[in-house]
Amino acid sequence: MRIDPTMTAGMRVRMAPSPTGDIHIGNARTALMNYLMARQSGGTFILRVEDTDRERSDPQKEAGIYDGLRWLSLDWDEGPNVGGPYGPYRQSERHDVHREAIEALLASDAAYYDYTTAEERAAEREAQIARGQTPRYSGSGRSLTSAQIAERQAAGVVPAVRFTSGSGAVGFEDGVFGPLETDASEIEDFVIARGDGTALYNMAVVADDRSMAITHVVRGADHTSNTFRQVLLYHALGWEPPKFAHLPLLLNKRRQKLSKRDGSQWLGEYRAQGYLPEAVVNFMVFLGWSPGDERELFSLDELVAEFSLRRVNRADAVYDVQRLDHFNGVWLRRLDMNALAERALPFARDGGLSIDESQRDYFQQALALEQERIGHLSDVPDMMGFFFDDDLDPDVELMRFKRHDRAETAAALATVEGLVRELPEFTIGAIETMLRGLAERLGWKTGDLFMPIRIAVTGRRATPPLFETMAVLGRERCLVRLRRARAKLTE
């Protein structure tokens, strides 16, 4: 039976990232789906920082995780920074919980101290390979005599603790993949505690999920094999395992697990590149899930209502940035002007546009013209620069002079300048009437007249519609720019 979220009120789910300073897109997608399940069941979304690998962990870096989650609006109910009844929420602070489980396993003989040395294990491994066998820990540490053990203790060997995996069917019902099973004899006796007494991943996760009363473990499919080990641990401890569900992995275009070489994959980078969290959420959820009909646009709230593990795909998904770009464009166009301005302003300023409060309204009018053209918020400074550049120095060669030469063009611009100066009302409609009228009097195709004006006034060939753009720029800016362009043409 698959997990049916609607039937399981109050589920406790968790996201358990390593504190790497930022969230990987794959983890973000896992977090999203956990969040959706918690919210739709009226349950609890827990954040537990898995920092037991001291080499790679840095408590300072937790902030990056919080930032990323907050950016996506994935608020958590319990975690290192907000506390909760099942703390602590940092794995490194849960040593006692881990230790208790390890001792229980040792006491019941389900686990044993392994006094073999790394050299011995390496030698055993090589011997197996030499014999053409598959290298695998044989459990040799289990059969050491007490004399041998005493000798090693004297020699200063610190033992790890290994779990006796035994044999027999081990399995679980996966919320996405259905029933999964293997034989415990396929699993070697794995280490659950280091020589220094600290727990390793599989042990820590089991002890933590249990003690935090996690009801549903939803994580990446790279953990399905680990789940067998964990189920073994639950059984040996006499605990009922939680429900498990594994999500298909995210692959790059070469069908490999996403890595640093594949470009942006950290949430912070998406944010910096001007992606909207709404778009990232919408994109991520479709990596593995679909509603079953042809709808494609979903907000977080809509997903809370619609998402179901039952509709999650089993095949790994190849990440395609073009699709993300598409969603970004759609969500950018859906934003109302105030919201868009709020999001775009920081990018505009970071990109060098000096926009003070008095220009806020002007910025918003200009932005309205650009809205349907923005692909990423980071494009804003470049595409809107001409609105704020009072020393705009257009490259008149962009005018190209296909049908009318430089002199003719200069003359036309002079006429435009005069008309602009005398126009009673500098409005879109008035500008259009004026310019279309001029094109007709001149006998020019509208495009042939409008493009030089566009270049003069904006410095670029691709802009929002000319009349609107001129109206927003205002009469004075247009006059100055028209004059400057004409001067450049005649110099």
269 vs 281: CA distance, rounded Å:
15
Using CB under 7 A as the binding rule, whether residue 137 contacts RNA is answered as yes
403 scored as a contact of RNA (CB under 7 A): no
Q: Under the phi-then-psi rule, with left for phi > 0, alpha for psi from -120 to 50, and beta for the rest, what region is 366? A: alpha
Which range binds RNA by CB under 7 A, 231-239, 317-325, 388-396, 419-427? 317-325
To RNA, the closest distance from the beta carbon of 141 in angstroms equals 9
**Is residue 248 a contact residue for RNA (CB under 7 A)?**
yes
User: Please, what is the minimum distance in Å from the beta carbon of residue 37 to RNA?
Assistant: 18
- Residue 249, judged by CB atoms within 10 A of its CB (0-12, 13-18, 19+), counts as middle
Which range in 112-120, 347-355, 384-392, 418-426 contacts RNA by CB under 7 A?
112-120
Q: Where is 406: in which H helix or E strand?
A: helix 406-422
Give yes or no for a contact between 8 and 216, defined as CB atoms under 8 angstroms apart.
yes
Q: Which of 243, 253, 260, 402 is catalytic?
A: 260
φ, ψ dihedrals at 466, nearest 5°: -55, -50
CA distances from residue 195 to 192, 198, 269 in whole angstroms, order as listed = 10, 8, 39
Contacts of 136 (CB under 8 A, 6+ apart): 128, 188
Asked if 322 interacts with RNA (CB under 7 A), we say yes
Q: What 3-state class would DSSP assign to 278?
A: helix
To RNA, the closest distance from the beta carbon of 442 in angstroms equals 14
What minimum distance in Å lies between the beta carbon of 370 and RNA?
Answer: 8
For 366, how many CA atoms within 13 A lie in the half-sphere containing its CB? Answer: 23
**Of these, 13, 74, 217, 451, which contacts RNA (CB under 7 A)?**
451
Mask 75-94, x = binds RNA (CB under 7 A)?
Answer: ----------------x---
Q: How far apart are CB 454 and RNA at their closest, in Å?
A: 6
Q: Is residue 430 within the footprint of RNA (CB under 7 A)?
A: no
Are 314 and 176 a contacting pair, CB within 8 Å?
yes
From the list 214, 245, 212, the residue with the least C-alpha distance to 227 is: 245
Which one of 95, 99, 235, 373 is in contact with RNA (CB under 7 A)? 373
Amino acid symbol at 153: Q
Interface pick for RNA out of 35, 45, 89, 177 (rule CB under 7 A): 177
| Interface residue with RNA, options 292, 346, 429, 437 (CB under 7 A) | 292
Active site residue 260: yes
Token pair of 473 as six digits: 């720029």
Sign of CA dihedral 437, 439, 443, 446: negative
Does residue number 53 form part of the binding site for RNA (CB under 7 A)?
yes
- Asked if residue 202 binds RNA (CB under 7 A), the reply is yes
- Residue 128 is a binding residue for RNA (CB under 7 A): no
- Residue 330 binds RNA, judged by CB under 7 A: yes
Number of helices and strands in the chain (H, E): 19, 11
Stretch in the footprint of RNA (CB under 7 A) among 182-190, 301-309, 350-358, 409-417: 182-190
Supply the minimum distance, in Å, between the C-beta of residue 314 and RNA: 4
Give the range of 103-111, 187-195, 298-306, 357-365 binding RNA by CB under 7 A. Answer: 187-195
The answer to whether residue 438 forms part of the interface with RNA (CB under 7 A) is no
**Piece of the chain touching RNA by CB under 7 A; list 39-47, 208-216, 400-408, 444-452:** 444-452
Asked if 61 touches RNA (CB under 7 A), the answer is no
Kindly indicate which of the ranges 65-73, 201-209, 353-361, 476-484 contains the residues binding RNA, using the contact rule CB under 7 A.
201-209
163, 286, 363, 444: which one binds RNA (CB under 7 A): 286
Kind and range of the H or E run holding 97: helix 95-107
CB-nearer residue toward RNA: 43 or 332: 332
Q: What is the DSSP string of 15-74?
A: E----SSS-BHHHHHHHHHHHHHHHHHT-EEEE-B----TTT--GGGHHHHHHHHHHTT-
Comparing CB distances to RNA, the nearer of 43 and 276 is 276
Instruction: Indicate the residue among 74 and 187 with the shorter CB distance to RNA.
Output: 187
Is residue 173 involved in binding RNA (CB under 7 A)? no
Distance from CA of residue 303 to its chain's centroid?
17
Residues 220, 226, 232, 238, CA torsion sign? negative
CA distances from 385 to 181, 273, 389 (A): 60, 18, 6
Residue 468 touches RNA, criterion: CB under 7 A: yes
Shortest approach of RNA to residue 356 CB, angstroms? Answer: 27
Catalytic residues: 260
